[in-house]
Amino acid sequence: MSCGLTLLVYLLIPACLAQQTALKQTPKAIVAKVGSEALIDCDQVTTDHNFMYWYHQGRNQGLKLIALLQRDQKPNYEDEQEDNYEVGTKRGYKHSYLKVKSVTSHAQGVYFCASSLAQ
- pLDDT of 111 strictly over 60: yes
CA geometry: angle 108, 77, 98, nearest 5 deg:
45
Q: What is the mean pLDDT of the chain?
A: 83
- pLDDT of the residue at 21: 53
Instruction: State the amino acid at position 32 in one-letter form.
Output: A
In a domain, 109, yes or no: yes
By residue range, what is the domain housing residue 23? 8-116
Look up the pTM and report it: 0.81
- pLDDT of the residue at 22: 82
- pLDDT of the residue at 117: 84
| Cα dihedral value 41, 44, 45, 48, nearest 10 | -160
Per the structure, the count of domains in the chain is: 1
Query: Do the Cβ atoms of 19 and 82 come closer than 8 Å?
Result: no
Residue 68 to residue 113: CA distance in whole angstroms: 10
Alpha helices in the chain (DSSP H): none
In a domain, 2, yes or no: no
In a domain, 1, yes or no: no
User: Residue 44 maps to which CATH number?
Assistant: 2.60.40.10
Strand order in the sheet with 109-116: 29-33, 8-12, 109-116, 51-57, 64-70, 76-77
